[in-house]
Chains A and B, each alone.
Chain A
Amino acid sequence: GAGVSQSPSNKVTEKGKDVELRCDPISGHTALYWYRQSLGQGLEFLIYFQGNSAPDKSGLPSDRFSAERTGGSVSTLTIQRTQQEDSAVYLCASSLGRLNYEQYFGPGTRLTVT
């Protein structure tokens, strides 16, 4: 079946602009995670959604980062006033539930802030 999809695959933006990154999880998966992969910091957790519960935002690096998940499915990660240190690959993962074992990762969005 279809896996996790993300768009765009690449995004180049100027410093100070806002960007939106989209994630479509696997159908039926209630848990959705955003991670960030950068050369300096490796792979880091950002935010977690489970069904209609309040998200776990404990990994967001600053208040410029926010995310929402509409209808328990598609998620959008928004970065406001982008900075060069935001350049990274943003990965989305989904799983059947919080306690389910497998997290399936999407292809990622490579964000470059110039």
Chain B
Amino acid sequence: ELKVEQNPLFLSMQEGKNYTIYCNYSTTSDRLYWYRQDPGKSLESLFVLLSNGAVKQEGRLMASLDTKARLSTLHITAAVHDLSATYFCAVADSGAGSYQLTFGKGTKLSVIP
């Protein structure tokens, strides 16, 4: 059974600071996703990582994937208040024919002015 663990689950950081969210998963997968969710809203796709060593950046967010370590990171650079949200990583279960997503529990990020 595929398990996905995120840490930390809660993160309070000051504007301008840097931080990293970690996502570990338990079985081989070739697809890892990062989503953002604002309160009361649905999931917004941030990044799709498809291969070992993949790195993608959008604004102050950068995601990377190490398939050998079964680890993805979401790095936040010089945080701003608008980044406050819950961030989920999700892994596609390639052992399941449907490639359904298994999600981590989410990291609730609060950026404090």
Contact = CB atoms under 8 A, between A and B. Distances in A.
Interface string B90-113: 100000111111111110000000
Given A45-B100, A98-B99, A104 B45 contact: yes
A105 B98 contact: no
Contacts of A101: 31, 48, 50
Contacts of A45: 100-102
A58 interface: yes
Interface residues of B, number: 23
Contacts of B98: 31, 33, 48, 50, 56, 98
B42 A42 contact: no
Interface centre among A93, A98, A103 (most CB of B within 10 A): A103
A91 B37 CA distance: 12
A29 to B, nearest CB: 14
A108 B42 contact: yes
Given A42-B105, A42-B106, A102 B99 contact: no
Interface string B53-66: 00000000000000
A88 to B, nearest CB: 14
Contacts of B105: 42
A61 interface: no
A68 B101 CA distance: 20
A56 B93 CA distance: 13
A2 B106 CA distance: 27
B88 interface: yes
Interface in B73-92: 88, 90
B3 to A, nearest CB: 12
B41 interface: yes
Given A42-B106, A43-B88, A105 B43 contact: yes
Contacts of A31: 98
Nearest to B41: A107
Contacts of A48: 98, 100
Contacts of B44: 105
